[in-house]
């Protein structure tokens, strides 16, 4: 099985400004499928390489995303920042805003419109960290690099503060719409749990405690709830496998479900019970539903499509229909736009690109 995924793992040093890649005015009708009734006026923002985890800023007008494209000498994931085109023919211009060193992941724009968060391994090593030998392990796994820490930077590529300094993996940070706290994933206690902290990195609080991987969390539009992906090994064999992989700095993401809780971690409960990999969740603008990616309909663990579900697990609706990979969905704060990553329109290759569209209820 192969995920074309860059969550917590996946674009080396490049010049500070990358030549913009344009969408070349694709026919918007060709980018959607007949059953994708929620998508209108779809546009492809990137072309070439692996582009994923595109997240809106608080102003609805800008995004960060991570990109890997060896053809452009971007050999492992780096963070880029760009403005959403305001017209159908407008250029999608973007630039590198991470250091261009190490591997980066999980960028998120700050409420001040001047800074962003991201995780990076560059302080430990300027080179790309090694990827797991999946042929040897014989499983699809993600590396949980203990060299990841969370940084705050400006849009000129300057790091203004290192927010985490504890030993072990710290990454997957997002910011509350209230502008008061950050939620992130850490291994500082020996397991992979969720924590929150103030925007300056102080007042760190652990909010999940069950054995298993907890990650990819984000807040509801009112900041009162969180949603995230989690594994919950329960059998002796599953627990042993989870702990054995974790001891090697690895996690197998093939059995995950979507969970919700209050923002402080209280009243946590499982939303999906679908089996397989259910991940990359975020709230709809109303806060009453969750959009997420899943492969649960396919025996071979692939493709991935996007789904809507109510917070109590009812009302499951499939909203994307590509035969390969749709993931990393997010609504703009005003609810008008929808962004995600997909393998669609890649000429039958392996490129993953960022797509944006108007959302139709």
Domain ranges of the chain: 28-359
- What integer pLDDT is reported at residue 54 of this predicted model? 97
- What integer pLDDT is reported at residue 300 of this predicted model? 79
- What integer pLDDT is reported at residue 138 of this predicted model? 80
Phi, psi of 155 (to 5 degrees): -85, 10
**Phi-psi domain of 172 (left: phi exceeds 0; alpha: psi -120 through 50; beta: other):** left
- What integer pLDDT is reported at residue 133 of this predicted model? 85
SS3 242: helix
- What integer pLDDT is reported at residue 21 of this predicted model? 34
For residue 323, give every residue at least 6 positions away whose Cβ sits within 8 Å of its Cβ, in sequence order, or none.
303
Q: Give the integer Cα–Cα distance in Å for 24 and 175.
A: 33
For residue 273, give every residue at least 6 positions away whose Cβ sits within 8 Å of its Cβ, in sequence order, or none.
257, 313
For residue 114, give every residue at least 6 positions away whose Cβ sits within 8 Å of its Cβ, in sequence order, or none.
154, 155
**Phi-psi domain of 194 (left: phi exceeds 0; alpha: psi -120 through 50; beta: other):** beta
**Quick one: CA dihedral 360, 32, 172, 97, positive or negative?**
negative
Phi, psi of 137 (to 5 degrees): -75, -30
Q: What CATH number should be reported for the domain whose range is 28-359?
A: 2.120.10.30
**pTM value?**
0.91
H or E segment and range at residue 50: strand 50-56
- What integer pLDDT is reported at residue 290 of this predicted model? 98
- What integer pLDDT is reported at residue 5 of this predicted model? 40
Structure tokens at 312: 């109590």
Residue-by-residue pLDDT tens, the chain, 361 positions: 333 343 433 322 222 223 333 333 334 447 999 999 999 999 999 999 999 999 999 999 999 999 999 999 999 999 999 999 988 888 999 999 999 999 999 999 999 999 999 999 999 999 999 988 878 888 889 999 999 999 999 999 999 999 999 999 999 999 999 999 999 999 999 999 999 999 999 999 999 999 999 999 999 999 999 999 999 999 999 999 999 999 999 999 889 999 999 999 999 999 999 999 999 999 999 999 999 999 999 987 789 999 999 999 999 999 999 999 999 999 999 999 999 999 999 988 889 999 999 999 9
SS3 215: strand
Half-sphere exposure of 238 (CA within 13 A, CB side): 12
Q: Give the integer Cα–Cα distance in Å for 350 and 91.
A: 24
Q: Give the integer Cα–Cα distance in Å for 164 and 106.
A: 14
End-to-end CA distance of the chain: 33
- What integer pLDDT is reported at residue 255 of this predicted model? 92
């Amino acid at each position: 099985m192969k995920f074309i995924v860059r969550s917590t793992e996946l674009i080396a040093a490049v010049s500070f400004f990358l030549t913009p890649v344009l969408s070349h005015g694709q026919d918007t009708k060709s980018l959607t499928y007949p059953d994708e009734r929620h998508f209108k006026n779809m546009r492809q923002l990137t072309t070439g390489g692996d582009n994923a985890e595109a997240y809106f800023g608080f102003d609805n007008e800008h995004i960060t995303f991570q990109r890997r494209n060896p053809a452009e000498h971007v050999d492992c994931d780096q963070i880029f920042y760009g403005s959403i085109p305001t017209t159908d023919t407008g250029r999608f211009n973007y630039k590198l805003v991470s250091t261009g060193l190490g591997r980066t992941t999980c960028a998120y724009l700050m409420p001040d419109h001047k800074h962003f968060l991201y995780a990076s391994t560059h302080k430990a090593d300027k080179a790309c960290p090694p990827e797991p030998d999946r042929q040897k392990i014989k499983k699809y796994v993600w590396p949980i690099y203990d060299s990841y820490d969370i940084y705050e930077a400006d849009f000129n590529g300057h790091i203004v503060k290192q927010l985490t300094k504890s030993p072990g993996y710290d990454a997957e940070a997002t910011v509350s719409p209230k502008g008061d706290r950050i939620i992130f994933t850490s291994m500082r206690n020996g397991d992979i749990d969720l924590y929150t902290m103030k925007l300056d990195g102080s007042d760190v609080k652990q909010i999940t405690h069950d054995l298993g991987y907890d990650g990819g969390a984000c807040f509801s539009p009112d900041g009162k709830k969180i949603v995230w992906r989690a594994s919950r090994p329960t059998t002796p064999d599953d627990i042993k496998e989870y702990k054995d992989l974790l001891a090697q700095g690895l996690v197998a993401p093939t059995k995950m479900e979507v969970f919700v809780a209050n923002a402080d971690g209280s009243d946590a409960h499982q939303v999906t019970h679908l089996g397989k990999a259910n991940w990359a969740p975020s709230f709809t603008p109303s806060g009453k539903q969750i959009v997420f990616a899943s492969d649960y309909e396919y025996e071979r663990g692939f493709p991935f499509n996007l789904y809507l579900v109510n917070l109590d697990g009812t009302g499951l609706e499939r909203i994307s229909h590509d035969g390969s990979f749709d993931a990393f969905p997010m609504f703009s704060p005003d609810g008008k736009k929808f962004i995600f990553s997909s393998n669609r329109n890649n000429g039958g290759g392996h490129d993953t690109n960022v797509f944006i569209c108007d959302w139709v209820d």
